[in-house]
Amino acid sequence: MKKSLIILFLISNVLSGYSQTEVADKFFKGYDYYRATELYLEAVKKGDSSEHVLTRLGDCYYNNSNIKSASLWYGKALKKYPEKINPEYIYKYVQTQRSLSKYEEAKKWIEIFKDHKTNDKRLRDEDQFDIQKFEKLKSTEKVYVTLENLDINTTYSEFGAFVKDNTLYFSSTRTKDTITDEKKLYQWNKEPFLSIYQSKIDTTGQKATLQEAENINSNSLNTDYHEGSLVISNDGKTLYFTRINLNKGGKLKYDKEGTSNVKIFSAKKQGDEWVDITALPFNDKTYSSGSPALSPDGKTLFFSSDRPGGFGQTDIYKVDIKEDGTFGEPENLGADINTEGRENFPFVAKDSTLYFSSDAHLNLGLYDIFKSNILKSYIKEVEIENLGAPYNSGYDDFAFYVDTETQVGYLSSNRPNGKGGDDIYSFSINKCKQTIFGTTKNKKTLELLPKAIVKLVDENGRIIERVTSDEKGEYEFTNVECDKKYTIIGEKPVFKSDQKEIATSIINGDKVNVDLLLTPLIIDNEIVINPIFFDYNKSNIRPDAAYELENIVAVMRVHSNMVIKIEAHTDSRGKKSYNEKLSDRRAKSTRDYIFSRGISKDRIESAIGYGESQLINRCKDRVKCSEAEHQENRRSKFIIISGYTPSPR
């Protein structure tokens, strides 16, 4: 009984010296959600059910795309702290419920979210999670529409169809063998940016077909950078299109924040050429304007913009086109159409119905296509309707076009089973993609390190993808989004992980090389970690020391028969007897921490403090040494006694 009391006393001393939650936080911050989860769960078992721990557990699972477990822990946090919790966790919980099709639970928390954030209108629609409405939107019953993926689609992106005089115009990034301007390709020696293409519509057969797509017949309309969606006037003489901001030399032009925004340009038809390329006067280098559309009478231009004064991230605007060709002042379409989210890709049909895409309103997910009567002169109340399936899919569905006389139309979508990133369907926003590749190596020997786990983590801490390096130590992430910040993490048992922060460019098809150097934890017969530090005259384990000791725990878990001994050493300053006692206390605190993490007691042969009796340099008593030299002597050693055989080189 007395021995048991002593053991309990020692363990209590160890646990009082560090906060398990603080250690978990360190792993969470380093995107190591597995070990963070383990430590947070242990904290819960020991009685820590704080808001911080519960929501962090939710975040660990959420960032690993384990929606069911994320829902569980967010739910626990909301139940325990319904009034105190940060409203953003309510919003995250709502998202998990929608993902799990638990619409009633989601609707309940939408109301609570509104109480916490009265002015936030992201979930303002009272029918946002009405099960019957969602089932109706997803159903294709009595909807007699056949969607067809066009033959002109490639493994790249095609979107934004517009028809004029039996020609389909669209935007695309395409493979090299479809580029007609070889000089342009060789000059830049890269895959092209987004460009405008055209395809003749053959109506001679029973079914209209599209001829092979070609670059639009213009030497000046397409540049070496992005040209996007377009619209052509009724008389066919004026074309409006989107282009990334360029300087006079034809190079990308950036604002103070380093962003190259997009602008709307006009072009005039001269014979078979589009000439007189002109930026519209309401553009600005500090924000974007794009996705032009025209009213049926050609007197109003509609577009989307993130200019200041809007309701959300991007809004839809209109501007008058005067008889002399000048423009009035842009006008926001108002809060009935625009939300705190993204509204984009306006299109006005011949009957003055406004079609647009939005990630808000009553929504199946991501961008959905909506229609509204807001432009019709007879309206008494603005109506907005989600087109539902099969137009909308729960993925990005946008760039709607329809001829209301023939009832033939086109939309763009990145739904599954397409040919590329975005495809055009007859009745996906272009996603720039890149590749991140590299090797995993042993930092000490620079030898290639196969079978390492490599994680791709976005700037929100969410693990996007995991891959394993091959026998040559090579790994690759394809389809990585452009113009984003990522963290690349390499991990392998008995190695310290390495992580690199990178930012992808705005160039489609770019390849980013990121080599990872993993530090071996076992060198010869010793487990080597960074120095562990103690407070002055203390032996309790600090959070930073516990963080390092987790490497010892990890190695011993991989090598389940490994037995070690622990040595603690001090420098020569102070009395020998004092140093010996202090180092011995620290050695045993270190041992007890490892025991507390589930390592059995028979796997640590001894934990002894040797004080200053085994100095490794000249710094004996009365020898003047630098602090760095003294630090060499202040060390903990984890020597392998048995249970491990080094791999032959």
Domain total in the chain = 4
Could you read off the pLDDT of 399-457 as tens digits, one per residue?
Answer: 999 988 888 899 999 887 888 878 999 973 356 789 999 999 999 999 999 999 999 99
Domain boundary among 426, 446, 466: 426
On whether residue 9 sits in a domain, the answer given is no
- For residues 338 and 15, give the distance between their C-alpha atoms in angstroms, rounded to a whole number: 54
Q: pLDDT tens across 81-114, in order?
A: 988 888 888 877 876 776 676 777 877 887 888 8
Q: Is residue 480 within 8 Å of 433, Cβ to Cβ?
A: yes
Whether 529 maps to a domain, the answer reads yes
> Is 608 exposed, middle or buried, given 0-12, 13-18 or 19+ CB atoms closer than 10 A?
middle
Given this model, what pLDDT does residue 191 score?
Answer: 41
Distances (CA, A) of 267 to 218, 230, 240, 275, 301: 10, 11, 6, 6, 14
Tell me, yes or no, whether 154 and 37 share the same domain: no
**Residue 357: what pLDDT?**
94
Say if residue 310 is in the same domain as residue 191. Answer: yes
Mean pLDDT by 10 residues, the chain (649 residues): 33 46 87 86 92 94 77 94 87 74 79 78 61 75 77 88 92 64 36 78 73 75 79 94 68 51 90 89 90 95 95 93 93 91 91 90 77 89 90 84 87 86 73 89 95 96 95 95 93 94 88 96 91 84 92 93 93 90 93 95 94 91 88 89 75
| pLDDT score, position 235 | 93
Is 648 inside a domain boundary?
no
User: Looking at 86, 114, 138, which one is the last position of a domain?
Assistant: 138
One-letter amino acid at 497 equals: S
Q: 128-173, pLDDT tens digit by residue? A: 556 677 678 778 766 657 788 999 998 888 899 999 998 999 998 7
How confident is the model at residue 602, as a pLDDT?
A: 95
**Does 568 reside within a domain?**
yes
> Rounded to 5 degrees, what are φ and ψ at 604?
-120, 105
Residues 442 and 397 in one domain: no
Q: Is 289 in the same domain as 211?
A: yes
Q: What SS3 state is found at 73?
A: helix
Please tell me whether residues 473 and 449 are part of one structural domain: yes
The reply to whether 607 falls in a domain is yes
DSSP 176: G
Check residue 632 and give its pLDDT: 85
396 and 383 belong to one structural domain:
yes
Token pair for 115 = 């109480």
Residue from 249, 258, 250, 248 nearest 225 by CA: 250
Same domain for 168 and 124: no
Non-local (6+) Cβ contacts of 373 within 8 A are 353, 354, 379, 382, 383
Q: Domain range spanning residue 319?
A: 148-426
605 contacts 564 by C-beta, under 8 angstroms? yes
Q: What is the CATH number of the domain that holds 565?
A: 3.30.1330.60
| Res 450: pLDDT | 96
Residue 211 main-chain phi, psi, to 5 deg:
-75, 170
- Give the residue from 563, 555, 571 showing the smallest Cα distance to 614: 571
CATH code for the domain in which residue 220 is found: 2.120.10
Between CA 543 and CA 549 the distance in angstroms is: 10
> What confidence score (pLDDT) does residue 127 get?
63
* Residue 383 to residues 294, 345, 355, Cα–Cα distance (Å): 20, 18, 12
Within a domain: 3: no
Q: Is 6 a domain residue?
A: no
What is the CATH classification number for the domain harbouring 89? 1.25.40.10
Output the six-digit token pair for 239: 């074309």
Residue 188: inside a domain: yes
Over residues 5-38, the pLDDT tens digits come to 333 333 333 333 347 898 999 888 876 788 899 9
Are residues 152 and 131 part of one domain? no
| Pair (397, 385) in one structural domain | yes
Q: Measured between alpha carbons, how far is 201 from 167 in angstroms, rounded to an integer?
A: 6
Centre a 10 Å sphere on the Cβ of residue 139 and count the other Cβ atoms it contains: 11
Q: Do residue 273 and residue 374 come from a single domain?
A: yes
Domain CATH for 497: 2.60.40.10
Q: Do 533 and 607 form a contact (C-beta atoms < 8 A)?
A: no
Domain boundary among 426, 456, 483: 426
The pTM of this model reads 0.50
339/459 same-domain check: no
Residues 505 and 587 in one domain: no
